[in-house]
Structures are given as C-alpha cells and as structure tokens.
Structure 1
C-alpha cells in the first residue's frame, strides 16, 4: 500500500459514521449487507448513508455491487489487511522473538 492510499483510508475511517459502517461490513463478512440494512442498523438516513458509502468506496475500503434496484456493499478485506500491514510494517524493529505492546507479532518473528 502506498502512503497516499493509507492516508485516504485513514481519513475515511476517521469519521464515526464511516467507521461504524466499515466495522458493520467487516462483521458481515464476504456476504456484505444491503444499503438499506446498513442504514437501519446504524439509524443513518438514506442521503447521509449514500454520502458515507461513496467516501468509503472512493477510499478503496468497500465495494458496492448492484443487485437489481438495490446495492450490496462488502468490506474489501484485501484493502483492510494492506492498511494494517502498512501500519505495522516495521513493528517492533530492533527486538527479537518478542511480542509488541500492541499484541501484534512482528512478521519476522
């Protein structure tokens, strides 16, 4: 992941509603959720939801798949994993065979 992609993803997730949407879609797994279900679950009005979904799509964190007149949204787990990898790339550098305070095992351990 490039720095600009990470900034876009973190900016998108830096809003409470978008973070809640993303977490809901991660919880839903590969099946995703329909836009209306997301709005109901989070009590977000349709126009507001559309804006936030568009921002998450633009940041590359979710995808929307039209299904008739509705749209199913899914978290992009590849993008989520790439962001975590970007953030933890040099995690615990200089330590050997130990776990970081974050609980994330360094890739080299």
Structure 2
C-alpha cells in the first residue's frame, strides 16, 4: 500500500458516521447490507449515507454489488487488511517479541472456530 492510499483510508474513517458504517459492515460480513438499511440503522438520511459510502468506496474500504433494485455494500476486508499491514509493517523495529501482544489481541476475533470432538457411540445389541 502506498502512503497516499493509507492516508485516504484513514481520512475516510476519521468521521463518526463513516467509522460507524464501516464497523457495521464488518459486523455483517459476508452478507453485507443494503444502503437503505445502513441509513436506517445509523439514522442518517439516505443521500447523506450515499455520500459516506462513496467516500469509503474510493478509499478502498467498501465494495458494492447490485442485487435486483438494491445495492448491497460490504466491508472490503482485503483493503482493511492492507491498511492494517501498512500501519504495522515496521512494528517494533523488527522485534517480534514486542509485536506479539498486538498479534495475540487480534486472534480472538479472527480465530477459526474449533470443531467439537466427535463422540463415538457404543454399538447396541438387538
């Protein structure tokens, strides 16, 4: 990621409604939300929400797809990953032990769910 791309993304998130919109879209991954539903949930006029979504989209943080008469918006997780990696790429001067707490704090929200162990049932005689 180039510094100007990171600045655009951080600038887009540096406004309350856009930050709340992005967080709400992350929460609703991977299904996303329609623009009207976003506006309703955040109690923002639809035309204002459209402007915020356009800013987030230009910054590479939101993507959209038309479904019938609605436009569904999704958080661009790859764009967010690139921004996060850009911010921490030189973390702690290369001292992995100093960055470990940061990495560990990210794991609980993103760790894959563990499958429950299978229980073997004893065969029953008929």
Alignment TM-score > 0.5, same fold: yes
Measure how far apart 1:58 and its partner are: 0.9
8 Å CA contact 1:61, 1:75 repeated in 2: yes
Give unmatched runs, 5+ long, in structure 1: none
Taking the aligned partners of 1:51 and 1:10, their CA distance within structure 2 comes to 17
Contact 1:12 1:56 in 2 (8 A): yes
Q: Which structure has the larger Rg over C-alpha atoms?
A: 2
Per the alignment, residue 29 of structure 1 pairs with 29
Distance in 2, matches of 1:43 and 1:27, equals 17
Please give the TM-score of this superposition, normalised by the length of structure 1: 0.88
RMSD: 1.8
CA contact (8 A) 1:99 1:105 kept: no
Q: Number of residues paired by the alignment?
A: 104
Greater share of residues in helix: 2
TM-score w.r.t. the length of structure 2 is 0.76
**4+ residue runs over 4 A deviation:** none
Show CA shifts across 1:28-76 (max 9, x none).
0111111111111111111110110111111111011111221000011
For structure 2, list consecutive stretches of 5 or more residues without a partner in the other structure.
Answer: 105-126
